[in-house]
Chain A
């Protein structure tokens, strides 16, 4: 029996469910290391990392070039060996310029002395968590929350680890290919995580559209008393932490709280892989598997690129564009960020880069709500987007709060099904910001 949650959508066509057929059978291709990498100090949620190198320095592969800027922060490592040619703000996927270290590749891939296997068994738990922190591991599913924070704050509170292989976003197949091609790394990584967190059960959660990965994983898990495979029905946004926890364990993360409050810690499959590489090879996060797909891409592929590789090189490796792109996306089509150029680096959380030739967004002028209620049926947070939109469009912040706009996870299910094409998520993002501003202002006024 496959697990699932209530609400959600399943984009795609009959012949191409989830729009994944362009790349789900294509093996991961390792992209040649580029001549230059751009490594922003913000590739995670939290404080930016602090740069440790200066222009002209020679750095080795895997060398820490920026240290964590606080507890909720992650260091950055050189993804090639070579010379630092610039430390300056560069264009980031978030659309602004972010302080970045630019390294010219000497193509020697000279390993840094710190890159060596660690003796996991003889380390204390604090040392293990420190090792994960030092390796710059963040949530590889796209949210990029620093993994050590999740582990540290979850120990004692969590009895369950969920490994997120839902990959419910349309088009993306990078986790699918990793599960198929490198399941040993992932399963070993989960074993490390189970030991560190001391949980009594762990589930590797995979949607049924990746059934070809099940046999090998079950074989690797045979006899394991703690780790189990949890098949999931295909449903977006099943990979959202709260929905995944609900699907597999039946628990609900309380409103405004974290997964740890429901006793669960959720890690992406590639985060588990990164944990494995951290202990078994001593390798920090320097690579990333990216699905390059969409109707404008000549030959869609799954590419493994060094972190900091310019996305243009990935597009080149896919034969360039077959049509002029109408939309460029870093991430999936449901929650990814629109880009205006491919001149941005691959980041730790870049699971996909998509290019659409046609207008898939179908915006209309003056959209009118017809109250069809489709949004109510699909909201995975069980909210009422039709009323939230009504209040938001009138700038009625009390109404927005009353209808729990702050619980919105911005998954986009409501906007996807909306026949009137109302940009609901955009409305709610603005409303959330305004409500939070209002709350801050009220808190400040109360202080005075």
Chain B
């Protein structure tokens, strides 16, 4: 006779794919590594420490929240770690550590956990944290150092950095800051002012390609987003630039790549169908360019994605796939 004591009974299907939430988040972290390396090369070791502090703060906040509400700890799914890295990446390297920790608290507690945690939050936690920091400490959040300068590892003082501050390319184009535009090549490699993780378009494209290759994201959102920005900046050049030049600066500056590949593709806060993702991407692109051209800020990626996050339920509703075998009439409507 055979031993069936270990046999379990479950509903079908009985096999599952290898990927799980943790492996997906792990892929996202791997995809962020090239940008981390470039950023460290450009701004110094403080980048690593800032990222580590942000990740640690996110994990601690999530643990504390879960303890308080009596939920099993969810940091094992690594989504809080991803939020931590992304939050650090959208802040300037000179931001004091304590502000970053406050930002992490807003990201994890306010934007994510209070809505029920992973999958239930409706706005991107990292961007919500950044929006909060920008509104609370606008100067600290818009103080940029030139590439190659080394911010003190532990220094929290803004004054010591004043001598080497640099404007972001977008601010220069907009005319809200003075300076010479960096060359397109230096922007591709990341040799320009900006938030830690957004400076190198090449590093972010490598990460994005990895995510596409691993099928963590589909091309729909980034293609629609980047495509829309490309078309608009090409047709309506900004700041006295030529058409193509305007497009290249529009694409490779201000964290568009970071936003398109890593933020707008956030599962929880983007549409579920490919059709919806295209609509979402176009919306992000439109808003990004509108904010850059007509808004008070030189940069529009963060707010455009946050605004589009709030429309996801609507997009999902109107881009629902037409079911197989639907009556012909329903098909026409869809």
Contacts and interface: CB of A to CB of B under 8 A. Distances in A.
B13 A425 contact: yes
Interface stretch (A80-88, A110-118, A126-134, A359-367): A359-367
B7 A320 contact: no
B268 A382 contact: no
A254 interface: yes
Interface class of chain A by DSSP = loop
A253 interface: yes
A341 B7 CA distance: 8
Most buried by B among A327, A383, A423: A327
Contacts of A282: none
A9 B21 CA distance: 19
A382 B324 contact: yes
Most buried by B among A325, A339, A383: A325
Contacts of A429: 11
A336 B14 contact: yes
A197 B23 CA distance: 52
Contacts of A334: 12-15
Interface string A291-313: 00000000000000000000010
Interface class of chain B by DSSP = loop
B272 A255 contact: no
A404 to B, nearest CB: 5
A335 B12 contact: yes
B324 A252 contact: yes
Interface string B1-45: 011111111111111110111011000000000000000000000
A12 B224 CA distance: 32
Contacts of B12: 333-338, 410, 412, 425
A418 interface: yes
Contacts of B74: 368
Most buried by B among A321, A333, A382, A383: A382
B320 to A, nearest CB: 6
A384 B272 contact: yes
Given A326-B8, A338-B14, A412-B12, A407 B3 contact: no
B71 to A, nearest CB: 9
Contacts of B15: 11, 170, 333-334, 360-361, 416
Contact of A423 (B11, B118, B320, B322): B11
Contact of B16 (A365, A410, A421): A421
Nearest to B116: A368
A415 B12 CA distance: 9
Contacts of B10: 327, 338, 361, 363, 423, 426
A246 interface: yes
B118 A368 contact: yes
B327 interface: yes
A317 interface: no
A407 B24 contact: no
Contacts of B320: 384
Nearest to B268: A371
Contact of B9 (A321, A338, A370, A381): A338
Most buried by A among B4, B16, B326: B16
B13 A342 contact: no
Interface string A250-280: 0011111100000000000000000000000
B249 to A, nearest CB: 33
A401 B272 CA distance: 19
A382 B316 contact: no
Given A254-B327, A420-B21, A335 B321 contact: no
B176 interface: no
A366 B322 CA distance: 31
Given A372-B267, A383-B323, 19 more contacts: A9-B17, A242-B324, A255-B324, A324-B3, A325-B4, A326-B6, A327-B7, A327-B10, A333-B15, A338-B8, A338-B9, A368-B118, A368-B119, A372-B272, A376-B321, A382-B323, A384-B316, A387-B272, A416-B15
27 contacts: A11-B17, A254-B327, A255-B323, A325-B4, A326-B7, A327-B10, A327-B14, A329-B14, A336-B12, A337-B12, A338-B12, A339-B7, A360-B16, A364-B20, A368-B119, A370-B118, A370-B119, A372-B24, A373-B273, A377-B274, A382-B322, A384-B273, A417-B17, A419-B23, A420-B21, A425-B11, A429-B11
